[in-house]
Structure 1
Amino acid sequence: MWGIIGCFVIFYCYCMFRIIRGISTRSPVRFNRQRREVALIYRGDPPVIVPWEEVIACVSASKIVTQYAVMPSFALMIGLRNAESGDVYWVTIPSGTLSHAVGEWEAIRQYMEEGPEALPTPVLSDEQFQEGTVAYFHFCRRGYRSRHWWPRYVWGFLVIQFCSGWTIPCHIAQWINRRPKALFPTSVLDWSKPLPSAQHAHPSEALLKESAEVRKAYTKGQTMLDYYKIKFTEQPPEAVVAAE
């Protein structure tokens, strides 16, 4: 019995170590507005630098089927093509809804095209509203307590959360987020240095023309999906509960 438990603990710790190591050794994607380029770094490989206007962006839609429900799943996928090998490296950002996935890309696009001043100021910056923090845990606990009778609060929240580690997962998540991340290589640091205004790259005429047409469509009440005539053949439901 103890041997089985020990094997389970060792396997769990090994999986956690691999996840933490993967997060700590992976450099983030870097967007350079002045050069209008994007850099992707894989450990052990030379940096892949792609012109901004050659970046591929798409949204994948799928369904997660369980014995209880069928739920939609979306993800923003950013493709960076290596000009030397022709390989495309994909960066996937999971999203809860289609609008959220499109909004993620729109925030990146606005930053690259218009600058950080074009982005809205975050409204909820308090840890209390950041999922995964200890403050958020207690915020949810107080909310659950205010909405339910105390027996349900005890058995429906306290007991379940105690068995799942209480706030230990939150502390682990915050520790992982505070860990030092992998450093950028010297070539990328040099590439990231500010350029004189005269050397700033400018958008192509084709992009300027396309952007003007998109803004014109927005003034007519169209959305990005309407303009590009993107329609789902079968709209994923918000949540479909399986019949018993």
Structure 2
Amino acid sequence: MISRQRMVAGKTFEDKLNRILVLSPLPIITNISCMDGQGIIKAKNDVYLDIGHKSVRVGAQNLALLCCLVYLVFGGSLLLTIIFLPVSKSGYQFFLNAFLMVFFGIHLFYLYNMYESYLQLKKHKFIRFNRQRRQVALPFGEKGQFIIIPWEKIYAWAGTTLMLSDTTAIPLSTLTITMASPIDVTNFKGRYEVACGAEINCIMQWECIRTFMEDGPEACPDPSNLDSLEEYFDSRRRWKENKILVGWQIYKQKIRDWMHYSYFAYWLNDKIQERLEYTELSEEIKRWSESIPESQWRKPSPELEEANALAMTYYEQGGKLG
């Protein structure tokens, strides 16, 4: 574990299998465009930005496809057995019962997995960034209570690990946001992590937050609507109207949707999002989230302004973050 006392934005720590690129403190300009590739922006207004869990839609679709493949392979094997081998009436009943047991067993596993995912999401509240107060509310307190800290004191980094196999080495990067531990001068308290695939994706995801805090809501992407049931219906309608899919392609897409349980996955994402709406906020956080007069807005510290000036000079000379 790298001591937090050694961390400053732009610095990197590397060994043979790991690399950490520090993004904050101080949250300096990265000179990279922002993009919410993981869909973690959940709410945005003139006062605050909320980031939360990634969509459950993709996971639900991938697991559904796996379940479909398992029971289709099992059902096909039973069908071939019945066709090519002599089977008695009781044998037919046995095969039918076996197929039904596998079919319902797989789907019970599927529903249980989705319920477990929902319970996990309930444990991890969102993080709220207040640009007017230049503060961040992190759910790292007792029983998930929010702790409010200064924006410039937040710790964030893009961590990359090489996943090794016999023939390849695949780099996988994760954006981590955390805060200093109040009892350990070298460690952290709580972590919010989002898998981004590549380091550049972590930086672009972080830039969504940084540009909101420094440049305002117009500089930050809006919450994504791509995983909603409404978007699912709209996309299929657009494909037909614009003739993106024609003839056999339409039926292939219907088969894909069926094997991915697409309707259910989009519906489930909407329902989970509704249940995870932020209605149980304390009065302190509600007051903290209200707009304040512009004359009371906090300004960037001289240290951050100086660091940004140095960073911009460095970028103009051809340098890059990290």
Seen in structure 2, the aligned counterparts of structure 1 residues 74 and 27 have a Cα distance that, compared at 3 Å, is same
Report the alpha carbon displacement of residue 30 of structure 1 after superposing the two structures with TM: 0.8
- 8 Å Cα contact 1:27-1:184 kept in structure 2: no
Q: Could you tell me which residue of structure 1 aligns to residue 174 of structure 2?
A: 75
* 2:272 maps to 1:176: yes
Q: Could you tell me which residue of structure 1 aligns to residue 319 of structure 2?
A: 222
C-alpha RMSD of matched pairs (Å): 3.7
Q: Could you tell me which residue of structure 2 aligns to residue 13 of structure 1?
A: 111
Of 19, 23, 34, the match for 2:132? 34
* 2:91 maps to 1:91: no
Q: Return the alpha-carbon distance in structure 2 between the equivalents of residues 116 and 166 of structure 1.
A: 32
Seen in structure 2, the aligned counterparts of structure 1 residues 7 and 140 have a Cα distance that, compared at 3 Å, is same
Q: Which runs of 5+ in 2 are unaligned?
A: 1-97
Report the alpha carbon displacement of residue 70 of structure 1 after superposing the two structures with TM: 6.6
Q: Could you tell me which residue of structure 2 aligns to residue 194 of structure 1?
A: 291
Report the alpha carbon displacement of residue 29 of structure 1 after superposing the two structures with TM: 0.4
Q: Is the partner of 1:93 in helix, strand or coil? A: strand
Q: Return the alpha-carbon distance in structure 2 between the equivalents of residues 68 and 158 of structure 1.
A: 37
Q: Could you tell me which residue of structure 2 aligns to residue 237 of structure 1?
A: none
Report the alpha carbon displacement of residue 131 of structure 1 after superposing the two structures with TM: 5.3
Q: Could you tell me which residue of structure 2 aligns to residue 116 of structure 1?
A: 217
Q: For each residue in 1:93-141, what CA deviation from the matched residue of structure 2 results, as whole angstroms up to 9, or x when unmatched?
A: 2224332221111221122123224x0566x97x6xx256413466679
Q: Could you tell me which residue of structure 2 aligns to residue 54 of structure 1?
A: 153
Q: Is the partner of 2:318 in helix, strand or coil? A: coil
Q: Could you tell me which residue of structure 2 aligns to residue 207 of structure 1?
A: 304
- 8 Å Cα contact 1:56-1:78 kept in structure 2: yes
* 2:258 maps to 1:162: yes
Q: Could you tell me which residue of structure 2 aligns to residue 239 of structure 1?
A: none
Seen in structure 2, the aligned counterparts of structure 1 residues 84 and 32 have a Cα distance that, compared at 3 Å, is farther
Correspondence list, 1:95-106, <5 A? 95-106=196-207
Q: For each residue in 1:166-187, what CA deviation from the matched residue of structure 2 results, as whole angstroms up to 9, or x when unmatched?
A: 5332222233233352422222
Residue correspondences, number: 216
1:109 counterpart letter in structure 2: R
- 8 Å Cα contact 1:40-1:47 kept in structure 2: yes
Q: Is the partner of 1:75 in helix, strand or coil? A: strand
Report the alpha carbon displacement of residue 209 of structure 1 after superposing the two structures with TM: 0.8
Greater length-normalized contact order (CA 8 Å, ≥ 6 residues apart) = 2
Task: Point out the more displaced range, 99-108 or 192-201.
Answer: 192-201
Q: Return the alpha-carbon distance in structure 1 between the equivalents of residues 238 and 183 of structure 2.
A: 51
Q: TM-score, normalised by structure 2?
A: 0.54
Report the alpha carbon displacement of residue 217 of structure 1 after superposing the two structures with TM: 2.1
Q: TM-score, normalised by structure 1?
A: 0.69
Report the alpha carbon displacement of residue 190 of structure 1 after superposing the two structures with TM: 2.5
Q: Could you tell me which residue of structure 2 aligns to residue 185 of structure 1?
A: 282
- 8 Å Cα contact 1:58-1:77 kept in structure 2: yes
Larger Rg: 2
Seen in structure 2, the aligned counterparts of structure 1 residues 100 and 143 have a Cα distance that, compared at 3 Å, is farther
Q: Is the partner of 2:143 in helix, strand or coil? A: coil
Seen in structure 2, the aligned counterparts of structure 1 residues 53 and 7 have a Cα distance that, compared at 3 Å, is same
Task: Point out the more displaced range, 160-169 or 130-139.
Answer: 130-139
Q: Could you tell me which residue of structure 2 aligns to residue 227 of structure 1?
A: none
1:13 counterpart letter in structure 2: L
Q: Is the partner of 2:179 in helix, strand or coil? A: strand
